[in-house]
Amino acid sequence: MFNSNLLRAIVAVAIIAGGIYVIIKDEPAVPTGDINSIQPLPEQDKP
Distance, CA of 30 to CA of 23 (rounded, Å)? 17
Helix (H) or strand (E) run with residue 9 in it: helix 2-25
Task: Please tell me the least confidently modeled range out of 25-29, 31-35, 36-40.
Answer: 31-35
Report, as an integer, the average pLDDT of 2-17.
Answer: 93
Given a cut of 90, whether residue 42 has pLDDT beyond it is: no
Amino acid residing at 34 = D
Given a cut of 70, whether residue 1 has pLDDT beyond it is: no
Q: How does the average pLDDT of the chain come out, rounded?
A: 83
pTM, whole model, 2 decimals?
0.52
pLDDT at residue 25 in the model: 86
pLDDT at residue 8 in the model: 95
